[in-house]
Amino acid sequence: MSSSTSLVPVRASELMLGKAAPWPIYNEAGKLLLARGTVIETQDQLEGLVENGLYRNANWVSEPDTESVPLPKARDVLRKKLGDKKPLRPPASVRGTESVITIDEVRWQIGDTLWLQFADDASQRYAVNLVGSLPNRSILVTAPVKEGKQLFVRDGQSFVVRALAGKRAYAFGAQLIKYQQTPFVYMHLSIPREVRSTVIRQDARVPVGAEGFLALGGASPLPASVIDLSMGGASLVAPPLPGKVAAQKGATGQLRFVASVADQQLSLDLPLVLRTVEAIGDPNYLKYGVEFAGLPARDRLVLSAYVYQELSVQE
């Protein structure tokens, strides 16, 4: 969660053995304990959750009860059609070739998310925000955070810095010049001599496994699984619209889900236009193709960080 204020307590009586959890369940610190739709199978498991403290995202309070609207096993349904083949990231030749530019050619904005990958441990990546720059001297970023605490980094530490801006992904090497603690905690990174820039197509999709809700044409939200995602749109698996309501191409709506970005659970509410509806061999589910339209600035920032994070993990 972005802050503890978005969490509300869950009574133990609201969770039942043999029943699927109706929400993602977190502890007081916002750490995910149980994914929504997971069946609680034993009394020991339930008691263990209670000991950790039970909380859910307050933003989900108005969503439909998943006991009456079952959560689709979307990835299982889709795998039957795809023959267990996972969606693949387009090859580099499709996405665009790499070029080398100067730091002055990069059009970043204050507050943009950058990712620090430790040179001595490529598996560790931390999200920071751009604070500013001193021409020909340093780039200023916030300090990385781990488990809710600011991570101290020694002077001289080397990083690979990655970022996504518009349709381009950037990467460059840098060193920590100074870890500054006043007037707030931030870091001076060395100015790179060159930056690698790669064009990422708007429709390049990254496989994900997020669970959320799809609302179309004013109908009640449907529980949906996000199969793949880009800055331009997404593929979803969800039940058909109830009753005689049909999913019409061009219908507007919203996709709501929680993205895990840099150990934070951030809610997204993305306006969209329905572009495709496809049968997948199961009458209980359809595959929906949606295009995002008019994203708010905050959601665009979170979405770009989430997409780039997933791209980075799969490299």
CATH number at residue 272: 2.40.10.220
pLDDT > 70: percent of the chain: 72
pLDDT at residue 254 is higher than 90: yes
Find the CATH number of the domain harbouring 122: 2.30.110.10
pLDDT at residue 129 is higher than 80: yes
Of 158 and 47, the structure prediction assigns the larger pLDDT to 158
Residue 197: which pLDDT band, with cuts at 50, 70 and 90?
A: confident
Q: Which residues pair with 196 in a beta bridge?
A: 100, 171
* Count of domains forming the chain: 3
Q: What is the mean pLDDT of residues 113-120?
A: 82
- pLDDT value, residue 257: 92
- pLDDT value, residue 272: 94
Residue 187 · residue 153 · CB < 8 Å: yes
Q: What is the mean pLDDT of residues 140-152?
A: 85
pLDDT at residue 29 is higher than 70: no
Closest CA to 143 of 174, 97, 184, 192: 184
For 217-250, letters b (16+ CB in 10 Å) and e give eebebbbbbbbbbbbbbbbbbbbbbeeeeebeee
- pLDDT value, residue 83: 42
Closest CA to 295 of 232, 252, 221, 245: 232
- pLDDT value, residue 40: 73
Question: Is residue 112 domain-shared with residue 192, that is, in the same domain?
Answer: yes
pLDDT at residue 215 is higher than 70: yes
- Separation of alpha carbons 144 and 139, rounded Å: 14
pLDDT at residue 2 is higher than 60: no
Q: How far is residue 107 from each of residues 35, 139, 310, measured CA to CA in Å? A: 38, 14, 22
Report CA dihedral (60, 33, 229, 269) to the nearest 10 degrees.
Answer: 20
Question: Is residue 276 domain-shared with residue 237, that is, in the same domain?
Answer: yes
Q: Give pLDDT tens digits for 36-89.
A: 667 777 777 777 766 666 777 655 443 333 333 333 344 444 444 444 434 333
pLDDT at residue 121 is higher than 70: yes
First to last CA, the chain: 26
Residue 238 · residue 247 · CB < 8 Å: no
Strands 186-190 and 168-180, sheet pairing: antiparallel
The DSSP H or E segment spanning 311 is helix 297-314
Q: Give pLDDT tens digits for 80-102.
A: 444 443 433 334 443 445 688 88
Determine the structural domain holding residue 216 and report its residue range.
Answer: 205-313
pLDDT at residue 255 is higher than 90: yes
- 238, two tokens: 């969800």
Question: Is residue 20 domain-shared with residue 46, that is, in the same domain?
Answer: yes
Q: Which residue, 199, 225, 259, sits at the end of a domain?
A: 199
Residue 165: which pLDDT band, with cuts at 50, 70 and 90?
A: low
Residue 188 · residue 177 · CB < 8 Å: yes
Amino acid at 231: M
pLDDT > 90: percent of the chain: 14
Question: Is residue 272 domain-shared with residue 236, that is, in the same domain?
Answer: yes
Say which range, 133-137, 203-207, 229-233, 240-244, has the weakest mean pLDDT.
203-207
Question: Is residue 228 domain-shared with residue 257, that is, in the same domain?
Answer: yes
Q: How many helices (H) and strands (E) does the chain have?
A: 4, 20
Q: Is residue 70 part of a domain?
A: no
